[in-house]
Amino acid sequence: MRPIPLGPNQPATFYRGSGRLGAFRGLDLEPRPEDWVASTTARFGLAPSGMSPLPDGRLLAEAIAADPVAWLGPAHVSRFGADPALLVKLLDAGQRLPVHVHPDRRFATTHLASGYGKTEAWIVLDAAPDAAVHLGFSRDVEAEELAGWVAAQDVAALLGTTNRIPVRAGDAILCPAGLPHAIGANILLVELQEPTDLSVLLEWDGFPLGPRDATLGLSLDEALACVDRRACSPGRLAELRGGPGAELLPDEAREFFTAERVGDGVLLPGFSVLVVTVGAGTLSGDWGSLAVARGDTVVVPFAAGACRLVGGVGQVGGVGGIRCRPGS
């Protein structure tokens, strides 16, 4: 088996992009802000939308189901079965996304018949000078207070009680399930997440959405029970930031996924999604070689073995990217 380059996979969504996604990919894309990379996950209630096709026409999910050990490795299959346990997206926010929250595994198991929640992480590729994300409440919020904001769509109160975090290219932030959050305008990022499309919207006013789109089919009170209403302190926010090394995300993320900054060198065997972020070169192994360049996305099966990423001849700065892998 060999790594497979993937074309864009852009399911429709409700917000607009900024054009950064097409520029990064070097492609004339549909004006949609998300590219679901190597996805075996469908949009909530809209399968198979969101699931990635392979160049031969099969869905990636079908190919993995036919030979899970070759794709994922025996240790992964013994734990997760024929499920990659990971969803990677390229997300291009042309406007601020609504304040929303993702349920954790316990809530999803109890209320939504899902073994996964939706802890996620953001690795910023490009951002406007004033770009920011919102993460967690800055103070404790009572259940009745939150319910009142949501029912009245008091966006000023809701957004004003979140922590605003300025971001720039290279920043990496973990967003645990339960934390209310919103990605700001004019940001392009790689998003790693648990493989679900479970979102509870706390805000929908001003978007082509309504209350029925907000709660995953649950009552409002039931859905709001998944929100972490505790203050997210400056110390806690610091814990959720990634560091400057090869490992981009804090150790807390390892249960769910890992993201590794890679450059010229060897990639050890393992199922992964590679997003090439800089330069051009080749990815090679016993299976042969594949030309790669900035904006390319590649799914790498376990059976491809060790691979070598090497910058092209005369390529200033070599080649580099982000290698995304399931949790351990």
Name the phi and psi angles at 212, rounded to 5. Answer: -70, -20
This prediction has a pTM of 0.96
Spatial CB neighbours of 152, under 8 Å, sequence gap ≥ 6: none
d(CA 270, CA 273): 10
pLDDT by position in tens, the chain (length 328): 999 999 999 999 999 999 999 999 999 998 999 999 999 999 999 999 999 999 999 999 999 999 999 999 999 999 999 999 999 999 999 999 999 999 999 999 999 999 999 999 999 999 999 999 999 999 999 999 999 999 999 999 999 999 999 999 999 999 999 999 999 999 999 999 999 999 999 999 999 999 999 999 999 999 999 999 999 999 999 999 998 888 999 999 999 999 999 999 999 999 999 999 999 999 999 999 999 999 999 999 999 999 999 997 656 668 999 999 999 8
Kindly state the DSSP code that residue 241 receives in the 8-state scheme. Answer: B
Interatomic CA distance for residues 248 and 81, integer angstroms: 27
For residue 231, the 8-state DSSP code is B
Residue 92 token pair: 């291009």
All structural domains of the chain, each given as residue ranges with its CATH number in brackets, are 4-241 (2.60.120.10), 257-326 (2.60.120.10)
Helix (H) or strand (E) holding 265: strand 265-267
